[in-house]
Every structure is written in structure tokens, then in C-alpha cells.
Amino acid sequence: MATTTTIVPSAGPVAGSRSFLSRLREGDEIARMFTFLFAASVVLITVLLVFELWQGSVLSRHKFGFNFFRTSVWDPIFEQFGALPFIYGTLVTAAIALLIAVPLGIGAAIFLAELAPARVSDTLEFFIDLLAAVPSVIYGVLGIFIVVPLMRQYVQPALKLSLGFLPLFQGPAYGVGFLTAGVVLAIMVIPYIISVSREVLLSVPRDQREAALSLGATRWESTWKVVVPFARAGIFGSIFLALARALGETMAVTMVVGNTPMISSSLLSPGYSIAAVIANEFTEATGQLHTQSLIELGLVLFILTFILNGFARLLIVATSKRGSGMGHV
Amino acid sequence: MQASVRPALSVNLPPIVTSAAARETPEALAMRMTISKLDFFYGAKQTLFDVSMGIATNKVTSLIGPSGCGKSTLLRTLNRMHETVRGAQLRGEILLDGQSILAQDVTALRRRVGMVFQRPNPFPKSIFDNVAYGLRINGSKVPISEAVEKSLRHAALWDEVKDHLHKSAYELSGGQQQRLCIARALAVEPEVLLLDEPCSALDPISTAKIEELLVQLKDICTITIVTHNMQQAARVSDFTAFLLVGQLIEFSPTPQLFTTPGDPRTEAYITGRFG
């Protein structure tokens, strides 16, 4: 205690003697101001966005209130607007996408990071990054010309035959619909999951692997029980990145989802998503209430993303307490 | 016993126990591991040249030498940890209890030859789960909690952690973490324990604790330690091997190597003229 009290006063004047101007000249203050400005702009943009969506949807919010979330009629002629089918479609397609993409993506990442020779891994990583950069409209085209016919002719009839007793796989096989949109979304988000998860797995310290191996673990035991749990937080991060993309994806979804505001227990049935309906109807919306309802849908999508991301953060915190290495670093 | 192994340990004498007949002599039986004519390569680069030595049962053998002399490489061949590095290749023979380790199943070998690393590397799990890890993957004859307690006692860590076994291992100090790693390695009851500069990341007090521990552990297993700290080698080991650019220069009982080194290069190194 005595030593700290003698040190602090002597350090004080030294730090204080450097004036604001001298620190400005040396760049410290400039760097601080500029970086603060950049950081603040993120918050500013978010606030502006919410404000605009809130302001722009004032009519529909007042007219429908909470019924907006509870009703499923979307009728521009009679100006009745309910968001439920779009919320449902957005969540269902994103869920299907993750259900397919997570096991495939993480499996591929484990192969690339742990098992594949370095040259194979690096080459494939190049292609994966390429896939992640392909515009979504291209995936939409792929969906229309390849996925939809495949689904209509082979996958959906097969699903109906084998699992048709489930309400999930009933009704006519149109080709377009929730399931197809989910599959196309899965194809789109897999590169994100692979790329980020691979990076995270590769960054797991070597000594973790070696510790497991030195205890007589097989290569797979060391991968599955030590390396993957260590990287858990980062792998979750890749999944949430994928989820965010799946929720907001517009073009590819609207090309294959069927664009019908419908809530159906069957994944084969056509549907709609929030982003898709905004893109399709915004330019053609004539009535003010129609436009404002679409803006409110945007607000809903924003909130949905916000809530899911919040859950994601909580999940990361909760699991890293239980022992992911990255949480401690 | 020390006297009986001494002749086999001098480098000036013929290389150690390679023929089947020699293995049956008392000298050979006192060796837990024997390394003969070991050459090691990383790709095209040779890093060990014709190394032959023995690791005496229930003794501490230390490997010393300047950085890059190959002492860690030599240690890592003893449980075939070198195989995790691409392009690593060895020639020669390493025997554990008279059987070639290269012909064995590698996971079974590593259960018998445990390892502790340079930096403490506990898993991001609880203290208990860290020690139990090896037991769980290998199966344990005794109840796991008993085995965990026993290993923690052997590693002189039990009294410090017994009240919070379910806390994260990351909450321990560096020295405690390293003793936890020793406990983790001991839990599977290895015959040989390899330590790769186990104290290089630790403060002097933690180092002293681990050194004391190593001397006690001799009773339950055979220890090989790589160290850059000559005093440490002198304090803890019964035999010391001095390596220089991949060659075993001298291998003798520790007191002899530090008081009357047989090679001028050993003398130069231990008196601090290089390294």
C-alpha cells in the first residue's frame, strides 16, 4: 500500500503534463476520436434504422396493433394485413436450412481441419470461400432449374411415400415450398459454417490435441472430445452467422418458396417469407396501409433477428462457462 | 543398482543392448526403455544421429542440451508423439520392456508412456474431469472418483483442490495447472512419464514443488525429463544425457556428468561456455 501511494502521485504529473494538443500531434487523440466515431456510427445506423421502421409503420401499427402478429390474412384489396404467415415462413425455412446445414457444415469443417491433408484442406477452402461470395440470385437460379425439379420429381414423392403419415409431408408435390426454400438456403449457408468452423478448429492449440493423444486417445477421440468442445463457442458463432443469413435472405427464397402467404404444417406446401414479400410487393404497393404494413414487416424481421441473436449470445456465454476453451481466452 | 547399470550407460562403451541375448542380462532388465541407433528426420533434415541410450526403471533420466539439440524430439519419439508432425520419420529401434514400440498399437503405447508438456495444457473442463479424461476413454478398473483422488494425491495437488474438484481447471494457478496435468497423466497409470520442460513456464516456487514431486514419483513410474535448466537436471535426475546438434555426446549418472564430464563439449556446456 505504501509503495503504491508513492508511485501514483509521481506518475500523475508526468501523464498530466502531456497536454491535449501534444497528444493530438502525436496521433493518440486523433486515433481515439476517429475510431470512436466509427464505432459510434454502428450504433447510430441501428438507431436510425429502427426509428425509420417505427415511423414508417405508424398507420399499420395503429390500425392492427397486436392483431398484426396474430392474423394470417394478407389482402391488399381489402387492406387487411396480418404478418403471421410470413413470420412462420421465415422461421420454418431458416430452421430447415440449419437442420441440414449444421451437421453437414460442421462435419465438413472437422474433416478439413483435422483429417484432410493440408493441401486438400487449403484448396477446398478456396472453393468454399468462393461459394460464400456467390450472389444469392445465382443460388435462386440454381434452385429454380435444379432443386425445384428434383424435389418435385424425386424427393417429395419419396418423402410422401416413406413419411407421408406425418403431417410434415402431406399434400401435393409442387416442387416449390418451405422444404425447397430450406434446402436452397442450406446450400447457401453451408460455406459460412464450414469456413468459420474450420478456422476455429484450426486455431485450437496443438497442445490440447497432444494432451488427449498422450493419454491414449485415438485421433477421433481427441478430435471429438477435446478439439471440438474447445472450439464450441466459435462453432456456435458460425451457426449464428448462418442463421442471420438464412433469416434475411430475400432473392433465393422468393424464387423457390412459392410466394403464397399460407401457414401449413406440411413442409411441401408453398409459403412466403418476410424478406421475400417485402421485395415482391414494395414497388407495387399502392395503398399507404399496404406500404406501411410492409415496413412493419421489416421491423418484425429486425426484431426477430435481434431476439435470435440475443439467444445466440446467451447460449455462447452459457456453454463457454461449461468449458469451451475460447471463452476463457 | 546404480552401480550395476553404470557400464551400460557410458557412451564410450559399446552401444546398449541390441541383441536378444543382451536383453536378458541384469543390466538390460533394469532398463524400462532402450533406444538404439536412432536417426530422426523432419522431411529431409536429420535432427537426431545414431542415438543409443537406456531409460532406467524407476529412475529419473534427464535430457539436456542447448536449444535445437534434439532433446525434445528424442523425448517425443518415446511415445511416438512425433507422428503428429507431418514428414517426421525415424530409423532405429526403441524398446519398451523389450518390445519394439514401433510395432505396437500407438494408443496402447501412449497409455503406457504418458506425457506432460511445456506449457500447462489442462482441458477446459473441471479439475475432476481433467484427471478423469484418460480413465473415461480407456476404462478404469477402480471407480473413477477413487482413481482421480489417488492421482491428485500422487501429484501433490489433492489438498489444494479437494474442496473444489468441480471448478474449472483454468481457475488454478500455472503451477497447479501443471501438477494437474501430471495428475491427468498419472491417472492412466503409465509405466513411463515423459516431461518436456515442464517448469519452463512456471515461477521458482512452483518449479520447486514439481521437482520435489518428480523425485517422489520415481517409486511409481519411470521418468524422463527434458530440461534446459542444468541445475534442475542435477537436482532431480539419476542419469543425464547431454545432446548437441542431434548427437548424444555423453550419457552418465548425473553426479558423474556434472562433476567429471567425460567429454570436453559436455564440460564446456555445463560450465556455461555455450548454450
Phi, psi dihedrals of residue A18, rounded to the nearest 5°: -85, 110
Element (H, E) at A309: helix A288-321
Residue corresponding to grid cell 414487416: A297
User: Do A294 and A107 form a contact (C-beta atoms < 8 A)?
Assistant: no
At A321 the pLDDT is 57
Contacts of B169 (CB under 8 A, 6+ apart): B122, B123, B124, B125, B126, B127, B130, B177, B180
C-alpha neighbours within 13 Å on the C-beta side of residue B100? 10
pLDDT tens track for B121-159: 999 999 999 999 999 988 777 889 999 999 999 998 999
Contact B239, B61 (CB under 8 A): yes
Q: For A66-328, CATH number?
A: 1.10.3720.10
Distance CA B271, CA B46 (A): 28
Look at B123 and A215 and tell me if their CB atoms are within 8 Å. no
ipTM of the assembly?
0.83
How many angstroms away from the CA of B6 is the closest CA of chain A? 31
Q: How confident is the model at residue B7 (pLDDT cuts 50, 70, 90)?
A: very low
Given this model, what pLDDT does residue A327 score?
A: 42
In which element (H, E) is residue B63 found? Answer: strand B60-64
- The structural domains of chain A, with segments of one domain joined by +, span 2-56, 66-328
> Any alpha helices (H) in chain B, and if so which ranges?
2-9, 20-23, 26-29, 71-77, 106-112, 127-138, 144-154, 158-161, 174-187, 204-217, 230-236, 254-259, 264-270
pLDDT of residue A174: 87
Interface residue ranges in chain A relative to chain B, Cβ cutoff 8 Å: 118, 205, 207-218, 221, 225-226, 229-230, 323-325, 327-328
pLDDT on residue A322: 53
Q: What is the pTM of this model?
A: 0.79
Domain at B2-120+193-270, CATH class: alpha beta
Identify the segments of chain A with pLDDT beneath 70.
1-18, 319-329
Asked if pLDDT for residue B114 goes beyond 60, the answer is yes
A183-242 residue pLDDT tens: 999 999 999 999 999 999 999 999 999 999 999 999 999 999 999 999 988 898 899 889
Q: How far is B108 from chain A (nearest CA, A)?
A: 6
Distances (CA, A) of A79 to A69, A75, A260, A282, A286: 15, 6, 17, 15, 11
User: Which residue does chain A place closest to B114, by CA atoms?
Assistant: A214
For chain B, which residues lie within 8 Å of any Cβ of chain A, measuring from their own Cβ?
79, 81, 84, 86, 107-108, 110-111, 114-115, 117-119, 121, 123-126, 133-134, 137-138, 168, 170, 181, 184-185, 188
In chain A, what residues touch B168 (CB-CB under 8 Å)?
323, 328
Cell of A229: 468442445
